[in-house]
Amino acid sequence: MDSFEFNKIAGAFLFALLTTTVIGYAGNALVHPKALAKNAFAIDASAVAAAPATGAPAAAAKIDPVAPLLAAATADAGKSVAQRQCGSCHTFDKGGKNNVGPNLWSVVTRTKGVVDGFKYSGAMQAAGKQAGDDGKWSYENLNHFLANPKAYVAGTTMGFAGLRSAQDRANVIAFLRGQSDSPAPLP
């Protein structure tokens, strides 16, 4: 390669370098990139800040009692939540068949895990053998179960994350209460 050839190649390189540098400067001058003073999307960190620093399990989260909400709860609203959220696994009518989950006719105040012909988990069967009210679906027990099934009955096979809204739970429980020949008295 003679030196003339070499100069041509080196020249091409330098020219390319120069062009990209100039284009870079020109681009910056035209667009004025500037850091935003504030995030365009506000990120609410309060929930993170409020979480216990010790990493206590969510199961320990406080669950609002349902009793004060029941008087004003509407079974109709509960029915539509139940059909959407529970209907894929449960029937609610008298004589309804067991599905992925047991039929829920007359479940309020009944002993846990006793619907004929349904194969409950060992955890649910054990839950039904607890003494007194603990073994029954009292209003508050249902409230806790529906808020977080796996936290209330560890080992349950009910694959449902839970109803977060206390009002939804109250409405669903009001609906379930009505699905009975003799609805249990309100608490």
Per-residue binder mask for ligand HEC (CB under 6 A), 145-164, x = binder: -x---------xxxxx--x-
**What is the distance between the alpha carbons of residues 153 and 126, in angstroms, rounded to a whole number?**
9
CB of 172 to ligand HEC, least distance (A): 5
Q: Are 175 and 100 in contact (CB under 8 A)?
A: no
- Rule CB under 6 A: choose which of 102, 138, 144, 170 binds ligand HEC: 102
- Gap between the Cα atoms of 158 and 150, Å rounded: 8
Sequence letter at residue 157: T
CA distances from 163 to 9, 66, 148 (A): 71, 12, 7
Among 63, 105, 120, 138, the residue binding ligand HEC under the rule CB under 6 A is 120
Four-point Cα dihedral 112, 116, 118, 120, nearest 10:
30
Stretch of 42-50, 55-63, 66-74, 116-124 lying at the interface with ligand HEC (CB under 6 A): 116-124
Please state, in angstroms and rounded to a whole number, the distance separating the CA atoms of residues 147 and 62: 10
State the first-to-last Cα distance of the chain, in angstroms, to the nearest integer.
99
Question: What is the smallest separation between the CB atom of 79 and ligand HEC, expressed in angstroms?
Answer: 11
Q: Which of 12-20, 38-46, 48-56, 115-123 is the region at the interface with ligand HEC (rule: CB under 6 A)? A: 115-123
CB of 183 to ligand HEC, least distance (A): 15
Per-residue x/- mask for ligand HEC, residues 58 to 87, rule CB under 6 A?
------------------------x--xx-
Q: Which amino acid would we find at residue 55? A: G
Q: Which residues bind ligand HEC (CB under 6 A)?
A: 82, 85-86, 88-90, 100-102, 104, 107, 112-113, 115, 120-121, 123-124, 137, 146, 156-160, 163, 172
